[in-house]
Structure 1
């Protein structure tokens, strides 16, 4: 059987750029990598309501430039940029005093962003909406936003079943083998009373 590979990871360096851009020596590499992971985890957890699609990190001359792509920039920026300053202070503390620059970029088509669609379906599942209804509505919205195809899958104790299962729906074309095809991928978890649904 063919094995599943992350469509984004497969296309990095072909048609998709790296989410992190810096160069490091052997000694510093693991430190930078851990730092990047903790920055991403911190922002994602604290500002989950801001509908964050992706976080790009660049390092140059002792500076860390963090670019956050979000569906709701107002939540991240705050009144007159007050929230940005709070994030900056927290990240300076997290990176042990390094200079941090934060850029916020708005995601124009929220329904065409795989990560944001996945998170919206997960949020609906947590509100006890039927998984079929949530998936079909999300697919409908995504197709209307102008994408060529969508594939969606949910796994776990769907609608509180005793035995965990996996259901998927798709519409349009999704050429996974074509490397030049711009395929977006998103994953989110819903923590329900029956357990976790991914």
Structure 2
């Protein structure tokens, strides 16, 4: 009995979702949440254009509440409309827009490339768009377009991915559009990413410290070289000063010797003259 209740509730929710899809076809309908309370049943509708869901003076939402209460037998339904935070990260909205563009006659590759860039720019981790059917020619085929990181199986593929499928009706036949958007990273990958960022930060800090040490060592070497050069220059200057001091003494000595020689020359000449006179007297 309990199982039947759960199954009946699930069927009712699915029927309600299909009803909203048909009624809110042009307002970028995403999904609905049903919250049952003892007083009433609260139904939250998420759409890209909430103003069009409400209608003029709330007429459209009143008509929907009446049909839900009558056809789906939900007691006291209370409808609320909320805008989507980011419509480009919602697979149902994107698949619907791609299907509408294909029905208008646009090329599938051009549409897919535009939406891939748009989804990745919106902050998605990865996206995959599959288009199957008679795309061009008589034979049907499937084309897959992927960008970023996509998980194919496991818990992330079920809970962290937005999936949707729409059908585009063309003259050649029907074309199926499947969209898968990976919104968030698994917790394990986040931990690994944090560890890798910490490692890179530590390596960068270590490298910076080594570079600083090398710069300090170079500065010390340059200072030592400059001090050695200064000492050498000082010794050279002292030697040059000593030479300059010595050179005038030598000059003075040479001048004194020349004067002595000049004084000695006339004495020698006089002696020679006296010697010559003596020889002449002897000869006489």
Band the TM-score falls in, shorter-chain normalisation: 0.7 to 0.9
Identify the match of residue 41 of structure 1 among 18, 29, 37: 18
2:163 aligned counterpart, secondary structure: coil
1:17 corresponds to which residue?
none
Identify the match of residue 146 of structure 2 among 170, 173, 176: 170
1:121 corresponds to which residue?
98
Q: By percentage of residues, which structure has more helix?
A: 2
Q: How does 1:1-198 map to 2 (within 5 A)?
A: 25-61=2-38, 63-96=40-73, 98-159=75-136, 161-177=137-153, 179-180=155-156, 182-198=160-176
Q: Is the 8 A contact 2:44 2:80 kept in 1?
A: yes
Structure 1 unaligned residues grouped into runs of 5+: 1-23
Two-structure CA RMSD over aligned residues (Å): 2.0
Give how far 1:137 is off.
0.9
> Which is bigger in relative contact order (C-alpha 8 A, separation at least 6)?
1
Residues 164 and 104 of structure 1: CA distance in aligned 2, closer, same or farther (over 3 Å): same
2:124 aligned counterpart, secondary structure: coil
Residues 62 and 32 of structure 1: CA distance in aligned 2, closer, same or farther (over 3 Å): farther
2:26 aligned counterpart, secondary structure: helix
Deviations 1:51-109 (A, max 9, x none): 11112223233733221111111110112322211111111111236211112111121
Between the two proteins, the alignment pairs up a number of residues equal to 174
Residues 41 and 178 of structure 1: CA distance in aligned 2, closer, same or farther (over 3 Å): closer
2:270 corresponds to which residue?
none
Q: Is the 8 A contact 2:41 2:74 kept in 1?
A: no
Structure 2 unaligned residues grouped into runs of 5+: 177-284
2:127 aligned counterpart, secondary structure: strand
Q: By percentage of residues, which structure has more strand?
A: 1
Cα distance in structure 2, aligned partners of 1:54 and 1:72? 13
TM-score under structure 1 normalisation?
Answer: 0.80
Give how far 1:143 is off.
1.2
